[in-house]
Amino acid sequence: MRASRIVVGAVTVLSVALAGAGCTGGSDEPTPTPTTAAVPRSGDLTFGVYGPQDQLASFRATADIWNAGDHDGEVTMKTWPDHASMRAALESGTDVPDVFLVSRGDLTWLQAKGYTQPVDELLDGRGVDFGDDYSRDALQAFSADDRLQCMPYGVSPMVIYYNKDLVNFDRMRNRGLDAPDDDATSWNFDQFTAAAEFASRPRRGTKGVHIAPTLPGLSPFIESGGGSVFDDPTDPKSLSLSSDDSKAALERTLELLRKPQVTLDEQQLADAGPISWFERGKLGMIAGYRSLVPQLRLVPGLAFDVMPMPVLDSASTVGDVTGLCLSADAANTPAAADFMVHELSAESVARVTRTGYLAPANLEVALSDDFLQPGRQPEHSAFFNTSVRSMTLWPEIDTLPELETAVQPDLKQLVYGVGVLDLDSVTAQIDETSRPILDPDYVSESPTPSESPDE
């Protein structure tokens, strides 16, 4: 690796310099007497993480193990209940922890603020095996400027959770319906549609599926159908939902999602969120990430499993990617890098993974029983691993929350609009709304209200 060559080169230069100094002869200066003064502590380190209490407790346990060892300084925890709380704290001026957990969506902002430093050389010099222990996609997610800026920690692709009582593939096949085989590793959109319709039972008050009318919710279907969410994969100036391929994919998808007898309507969603409907046994399928597992396991009598996102033309999904970053102002960078290696070890990651929330980026742990947890729901946890291969990494956009808020009304119109959908008009409006957010220099070509056609 490039980092390996740099580290080796630095060591070589340093060795030559030291050898030259040691071989200088003819000096009558006495050798300095070794001092016995105590070496000052390098200072304590802080470890910033967010998440549910069970997961925070597991992080704390890994830090306790570190503190029990022979290290110069001690690690203290800084915790937040969720990512939004941590991001808000940092934006308000809270000191950046020496080592801290982030979402990939933070990377552009963190770099712009100068809050982080690259970790590739530091970790490579400490024996971290990038090639065997991490997928290329995971490493790419936190790479910028030809450097690894943070180390991948969690990679959780969006999958479909389904209620096994409402979506029973055996019963579907017995009725001659199109359903995936027991050993299937994927399913197509027609099978997904059949499952949604099978789970919709008016007499029992159940609906088949809910897909959030958001960019992450619709993105897997758009990309799977040959479309694209953004007009450029690295430097977008606009969304691309009005392109012919995106509209074709949306048309196929919305044929299902706009069926009121199959999907939750706005009145039902006003009464309770989609997860609540799923937990009550009244909703056949929802899309979600690995972090949903512990919550669903606590629901008495709920039998659930997961499948990859359905395929229109090719497999595609989005993902929740997290990483560990190293502060640019760390109290002691070498010590912080040592602690990061400890947190990235298979033992530490496995301890956090066993709580059920984390889909680890560390491949050794991802393929182990610590993650797969045989005998516990969901039975097919391996689909979280295989779905990583089809995960689309969005461009690094620091204004993504603003973008999602701006286009939300029109996305809801796509899914819940009454009457005949004017797909051309709505998607064009979505793209137009996105332009000034993604491209601050954009000037609309539409005439201003003061202008008349004759001017």
User: Cβ distance 78 to 48 under 8 Å?
Assistant: yes
Predicted TM-score (pTM) of this structure: 0.87
Name the CATH superfamily housing domain 43-156+320-390: Periplasmic binding protein-like II (3.40.190.10)
Q: Is the dihedral of CA 160, 166, 167, 170 positive or negative?
A: positive
Question: What token pair was written down for 102?
Answer: 């982030």
Question: How many CA atoms, within 13 angstroms, populate the side-chain half-sphere of residue 219?
Answer: 20
Query: What's the pLDDT at 53?
Result: 97
Ranges under pLDDT 50 in the chain: 1-41, 448-455
393-427 burial by CB neighbour count: b if 16+ within 10 A, else e?
Answer: ebebbeebeebeeebeebbebbbbeeeebebeebb
Query: What's the pLDDT at 444?
Result: 74
Query: What's the pLDDT at 446?
Result: 58
Query: What's the pLDDT at 73?
Result: 83
Q: Where are the domains of the chain?
A: 43-156+320-390, 159-319+393-438
**pLDDT 10s digits, 137-164:** 899 999 999 999 999 999 999 999 999 9
**414 closest CA partner among 218, 200, 140:** 218
Q: Report the length, in residues, of the chain.
A: 455
User: Cβ distance 247 to 427 under 8 Å?
Assistant: yes
43-156+320-390 and 159-319+393-438 in the same fold: yes
**pLDDT 10s digits, 1-24:** 333 333 333 333 323 332 333 333
The CATH code of the domain at 159-319+393-438 is: 3.40.190.10
Query: What's the pLDDT at 42?
Result: 56
Peptide bond into 378 cis (omega under 30): yes
User: Cβ distance 172 to 194 under 8 Å?
Assistant: yes
Query: What's the pLDDT at 43?
Result: 63
**pLDDT 10s digits, 365-384:** 999 999 999 999 999 999 99
